[in-house]
Amino acid sequence: MIAVMGATGQVGRGITERLLAGGEAVRALGRSEARLAELARLGARTCAGDAADEAYLSQAFEGARAVFTLLPYDPSLLDYHAQQDRLGESIVRALGSAGVPYVVALSSVGADLRSGTGFIASLFAQEQRLSRLPGTQVLVLRPGSFFENFHAALPSILEHGVYADAFAPDVPIPMIATRDISAVGARALMARDWEGFVVRELLGPRDLSYADATRILGECIGKPELEYVRLPDNEIERILVDAGFSEDAARLHVELAGALSDGTIRAREERSPDNTTPTTFEEFAGGLARPEASSLGAGS
Ligand SMILES: NC(=O)c1ccc[n+]([C@@H]2O[C@H](COP(=O)([O-])OP(=O)(O)OC[C@H]3O[C@@H](n4cnc5c(N)ncnc54)[C@H](OP(=O)(O)O)[C@@H]3O)[C@@H](O)[C@H]2O)c1
């Protein structure tokens, strides 16, 4: 059996579906049996609970040959890093007490740095904890920025006719489709063919700047005039707090944007066939246009 945390999420769902398609027995984890029900219908065993509950997680990991872990991102947390630390400690202690032999952990480009990286500093701390797990083979996946962030931003883009954020418009950064992360994760969980603590960067098909990605998105959704605009940090913080971010999370968002924009956060590996993934931003953006074409007003 392979246990998958965040099985209702972007990366975890894709991993769960691929493992089931590959004939693996899967224990799918999330906080709600109702949200896990679809995966149960596909053949997964489900086990709902909160990752802060170490006893629940230990049970959920019991007997697993391999586990996929992540630190769920929640921008409403009042003290982001402290709360992520508590989740991370619970996850690592549960992996240890269940004696899990193989772990594939979702991290991020930038998690090689202790601080100054916004949300990503929590992933640095989690990598450190995982690296100290005795007798467990740990594969850390460090993807670039998710294409799907543009999906999340779409309602605001459409409302304002512009994509506004704190990232520099013209700095190319690695961006990736979550389905490609799921594919790598699922393959590793099935193969279990590495030893020790291994880090693998996943850099998408090519580096893209926010201005370029926004232009491609605009073309794909029938709004070729769509532009990316960098707003001052304090303005972005205010917009994010109005949208439900805690003040701490809004500050971490602009710190992350600044660190990506000035090159502090960057891939450490040269681009290679091993860290380059297939799905292009054009394919992703084309997929956004299709199901939602009418609500997007494509072509208008
Ligand atoms: N966005 C990016 O550009 C980017 C880039 C690199 C790395 N990352 C990292 O990727 C991770 C997020 O991956 P994702 O996008 O696949 O996640 P996601 O779609 O946000 O899904 C989160 C999953 O975790 C579950 N979950 C949330 N809180 C939980 C809790 N307290 N206890 C147990 N389960 C909980 C959710 O389940 P329910 O809600 O159903 O309970 C859901 O299945 C984060 O660590 C983020 O830092 C993101």
The residues pairing with 175 across neighbouring beta strands, listed in sequence order, are 145
258 lines ligand 1 (CB under 6 A): no
Q: Is the CB of 143 under 6 A from ligand 1?
A: yes
CATH H-level, domain 2-146+177-202: superfamily: NAD(P)-binding Rossmann-like Domain (3.40.50.720)
Superfamily of chain region 207-296: UDP-galactose 4-epimerase, domain 1 (3.90.25.10)
Tell which residue, 176, 26, 180, 196, has the closest CA to residue 103: 196
Fold agreement between 2-146+177-202 and 207-296: no
Binding site membership of 146 for ligand 1 (Cβ less than 6 Å): yes
Is the predicted pLDDT of residue 298 greater than 90, yes or no?
no
Please give the structure tokens belonging to residue 293.
């074409």
Model pTM score = 0.96
Ligand 1 centroid to residue 72 C-alpha, Å: 4
CA 154 from centre of chain: 18
β-bridge pairing 173-176 and 207-208:
antiparallel
Instruction: Return the number of other C-beta atoms located less than 10 Å from residue 187's C-beta.
Output: 15
What tens digit of pLDDT does each residue of 239-297 get? 999 999 999 999 999 999 999 999 999 999 999 999 999 999 999 999 987 654 344 43
Q: Of the candidates 226, 242, 246, 212, which has an alpha carbon nearest to the alpha carbon of residue 159? A: 226
Reading the block at residue 2, the tokens are 């392979």
Most informative mutation of 17, 146, 184, 281 for ligand 1 (most atoms within 8 A of CB): 146
Q: Where are the domains of the chain?
A: 2-146+177-202, 207-296
Residue 1 has pLDDT above 60, yes or no: yes
Choose one of 32, 61, 70 to mutate for the ligand 1 pocket test, by most ligand atoms within 8 angstroms of C-beta.
Answer: 70
